[in-house]
Chains A and B, each alone.
Chain A
Amino acid sequence: MEIALAIGLGGLFGIMLERIGATDPNWIGRMLNLTNTHLMKTIFVAIGTASILMFGGQMLGVVEVGHMSVKAIHVGVLLGGAILGIGWAISGYCPGTGVCAAATGRLDALFFVAGGLIGAGAYALSYPFWEEIGFLNGEKWTIGEIPGASYPAALPDLPITGDMVGIGIGIAFILIAILLPRRLVGKAAPVTDAKAEPAE
């Protein structure tokens, strides 16, 4: 059963990553050099939609709170994120989109995946160092206190529950996507502008 779910959910995720352009380094590059925010809008809406559905479902009791999995916050999250950001901009791939792009026949993505295996291996060997200097210790904070979950709240005294915080942020993310300008730098060149917004 679990394997069937892995195939179904993984397959859907792969299809969606390809369909929104996330497996195309050009779209990632245009997002990161701020010349076309289309992919950023897609991501904001996706996070917002998922958040509203999940927290809404938890409030109604139809989504198992135990399925949540919150990661710990520590210095390594910020430093690792900053390291990842450099490689992301250099290559135009992140781990998930890289393997999917390789599957779609992008040859450069095969090299990204090979490099990724080296990078992950290098981290595995250097892990004791980061552990030792205390960069990996931290709590699994959520913003508000989520009913039914045991995660500590970063803001425990909020007048609303963590579920409501999640729904509020979800709505805010969708509003940001709507309000975000098509490009954040430079003047819109007519040629790029014509294909800035794919047809519906």
Chain B
Amino acid sequence: MVLNWKIGGPLLGIVFFLAVLLVKPIGVSTQFVVIDGVLWERNAPGLITQGPDGGWTSTYPYFAKYAKDIANPVNYSVIFVAAMMGGALLSAVAFGRIPLRERFSPALWSANFRTGWIGRWVLSFLGGVIVLYGARMAGGCTSGHMMSGMMQTAVSGYLFAFGAFLTAFPTARMLLKKEA
């Protein structure tokens, strides 16, 4: 059972506040690029190169921006995401009981799609491609733009939220008609 919003909301807000107080605003989607770079570099070295001044760069302009992180992936932001996964796992073990059927396909999707769990996995994969493409174009995701951005009164955060809900509401209304 999830926390009531009157408790969950303030607690989540405190976490976002603590992140800014102690280090910097929370963001996640950049790490997908860094992990991509690390995987690429591991399988086909040469994506990033070290210049004479010791700084890292890449012939691919976007990877060049993150070349330093790709060279040294054990940094704050990557560890943060790894710790998020650990925290979510601990919390799920301690409080959550996710049934096996739910792990294959969430109830709401099972109710609305007749394609079974393989169809759900395909949708989930496609969703991932679309979400991260959009997040990187926007320069952040729900955490970095919507939550961290709006709490700082960043105008970009509001524009991002407007764009995201502009398509998310109609898409969900069309695809998820049955309730579960």
- A and B associate: yes
Residues of A within 8 A of B (CB): 2-3, 5-21, 23-27, 29-30, 32-35, 38-39, 41-51, 53-54, 57, 63-64, 67-74, 76-109, 111-125, 127-128, 130-131, 135-136, 138, 140-144, 146, 154, 162, 165-166, 169-170, 174, 177, 185, 189, 192, 197-200
Known: A6-B79, A80-B160, A200-B4. 8 other contacts (CB 8 A): A6-B83, A18-B87, A32-B172, A69-B148, A81-B164, A85-B168, A119-B129, A119-B134
Q: Give chain A nearest CB distance to B178 CB in angstroms.
A: 10
Q: How far is the CA of A105 from the CA of B93 in the complex (A)?
A: 10
Interface residues, chain B, CB within 8 Å of chain A? 1-26, 28-29, 32-33, 35-36, 39-40, 60-63, 74, 76-77, 79-92, 95-96, 98, 102-109, 117, 120-157, 159-169, 171-173, 175-177, 179-180
Complex CA gap A74/B142 in Å reads 17
Specify which chain B residues have a CB less than 8 angstroms from the CB of A8 in the assembled complex. Answer: 83
Nearest CB on A from B84, distance (A) = 4
Contact partners of A165 in chain B: CB under 8 A:
153
**What separation, in Å, do the CA atoms of A100 and B141 have in the docked complex?**
15
Q: Is chain B's binding surface mostly helix, strand, loop or mixed? A: helix
B156→A68 contact, CB < 8 A: no
Question: Hey, which chain B residues are within 8 Å of A142, CB to CB?
Answer: 152-155
Could you say which residues of chain B place their CB within 8 Å of the CB of A97?
142
- Contact among A17, A38, A81 for B138, CB-based, below 8 A: A81
B4 close to A104 (CB less than 8 A): no
Contact call A9/B106, Cβ cutoff below 8 A: no
Q: Which residues of A are found within 8 Å of B180, using beta-carbon distances? A: 26
The closest CB in chain B to the CB of A20 belongs to B8
A76 touches B138 (CB 8 A): yes
Residues of the B chain whose Cβ atoms lie less than 8 Å from the Cβ of A99: 28, 81, 84-85
A-B contact pairs, 23 of them (CB 8 A): A12-B87, A14-B88, A16-B8, A16-B15, A24-B2, A41-B9, A50-B14, A50-B151, A53-B14, A64-B21, A74-B139, A77-B159, A78-B159, A78-B160, A81-B134, A82-B167, A89-B169, A90-B127, A92-B127, A95-B29, A108-B117, A123-B137, A128-B62
Q: Is the CB of B143 within 8 A of A95?
A: yes
Among B60, B120, B125, the most chain A Cβ lie within 10 Å of the Cβ of B125
**B173: min CB distance to chain A, Å:** 5
Q: Which residue of B lies closest to A141 (CB)?
A: B155
Q: When the two chains form their complex, are residues A86 and B168 in contact, meaning their CB atoms are under 8 A apart?
A: yes
Given A35-B179, A95-B28, A104-B92, A116–B131 Cβ distance below 8 Å? yes
The docked-state distance in angstroms from the alpha carbon of A162 to that of B161 is 20
Given contact pairs A19-B91, A20-B12, A54-B152, A80 touches B163 in the complex (Cβ within 8 A): yes
Q: Determine whether the beta carbon of B13 is less than 8 Å from that of A53.
A: yes
Shortest Cβ distance from residue A175 to the other chain B in the assembled complex, whole angstroms: 13
Name B164's contact: one of A27, A82, A121, A170 (CB within 8 Å). A82
With a cutoff of 8 Å between Cβ atoms, the chain A residues found around residue B24 in the complex are: 67, 69
Given contacts A12-B15, A13-B84, A78-B162, contact A123 B154 (CB under 8 A): no
Contact between chains at A84 and B164 (CB < 8 Å): yes
| Complex contact A93–B136 (CB within 8 A) | no
Return the contact of A3 from the options B3, B76, B109 (Cβ within 8 A).
B76
